[in-house]
Amino acid sequence: MARKGKLADVRACILGVSGLELTAEEQRFFHDHPPLGFILFRRNVETPEQTKALVNALKACVRHDPLILIDQEGGRVRRLRPPHWPDYPPAARFAQVCNDPSEQREMVRLGARLMANDLHELGINVDCVPVLDVPQPGAHDIIGDRAYGLTANDVAVMGRAACEGLLAGRVLPVIKHIPGHGRAGADSHTDLPRVDTKLDELLKVDFHPFQVNADMPIAMTAHVLYTAIDKRNTATTSKKCIKMIREVIGFDGLLICDDLSMNALTGDLHHRAKASLKAGCDVLLHCNGKLDQMKAVMAETPKLRRDALRRAEACLRRLVTVPEPLDVVDARARFDVVLARGAPHEAKVDPTEVLAGAPAA
């Protein structure tokens, strides 16, 4: 529930910040135009003490309990890294090292529970995990080893395990990239991916993991054009696609768009923001922390109302009062033993970080 003020006074957006601490101008802007939440990138995290201070400063700017997001998947996409935080593998690694699906599911949940512990200690309450995309042959490798498997069932089951681990640790999961990015032949950070697959195949494969996890609190849209649904608009800006997400996939949680600054979208930020909201997104996401751009987004961002308000309030109710008990030392020892099997993974540069306007390291 809200801490100091009601969510009805909050703008329907989530914004980035520019650096390791808030500027005076950012503080004034967030105070005068309180967003639903904030998202952190590598440019915002240096040490646990600094990160906690930044999170506390963000919370102090607003009169409600904000969502504090981060992308902590493991592998290429992880904002918190050694030496100050434990390392985590890419999602695909679990299938490589586990002896059977039962052990794989246990380790995926345990890894997510450990991640939640790391985040909870910093005051972060949302992790943009799991990736529920099902990679397809010939697709762009922007998803690749970020997926939990190569079949819709494997991705669905392991994605649910990740959600369970996060929720148990008082962190909300974000299922992404709904309704599915696994067939995309381009990276939506730089280009518009077009998927020409027939609807019955999309339903059977791409949409399935999202249907299995449709009860989760938050989903993030894909900036992908699915011609079987809408020949003109990406999922983020398509009324037809968002109707499919709501009525066929069955997701009634908080729907946030992927980053508005990504190049798969066209038009200026005013146009992108308006198109996303008109299509049916509940909340806008803008990540790069550039204040002039955030002002443009905010100019088109209404306060939370009706279904968007209901869904945002429901999100906060999914945060358990007390995290599931966890013996961190024992849990990490068990986790590390399993992950040490075979050759160690190699995390490559995270393209989502570079293309969001932040340094790769």
Active site residue ranges? 189, 258
Residue 197, CA distances (Å) to 42, 139, 235 in order: 35, 12, 14
- Run of H or E including 61: helix 48-61
What is the spatial distance between Cα 311 and Cα 101, in angstroms, rounded to a whole number? 33
What is the spatial distance between Cα 163 and Cα 34, in angstroms, rounded to a whole number? 28
**135-173 CB burial, b ≥16 within 10 A, e <16:** bbeebbebbbbbbbbeebebbbbbbbbbbbbbbbbbbbb
Sequence length of the chain is: 361
Residue 82, CA distances (Å) to 175, 185, 233, 316 in order: 25, 32, 40, 30
With beta carbons less than 8 A apart as the criterion, state whether 336 and 87 touch.
no
Q: Residue 206 CA to chain centroid, in angstroms? A: 18
In sequence order, which residues have a C-beta less than 8 Å from that of residue 299 and are 6 or more positions away? 270
What is the spatial distance between Cα 189 and Cα 352, in angstroms, rounded to a whole number? 7
How would you class 356 by CB atoms within 10 Å of its CB: exposed for 0-12, middle for 13-18, buried for 19 or more?
Answer: buried
Question: For strand 67-70 and strand 35-40, is the pairing parallel, antiparallel, or unpaired?
Answer: parallel
Rounded (5°) CA angle 326-71-208: 90
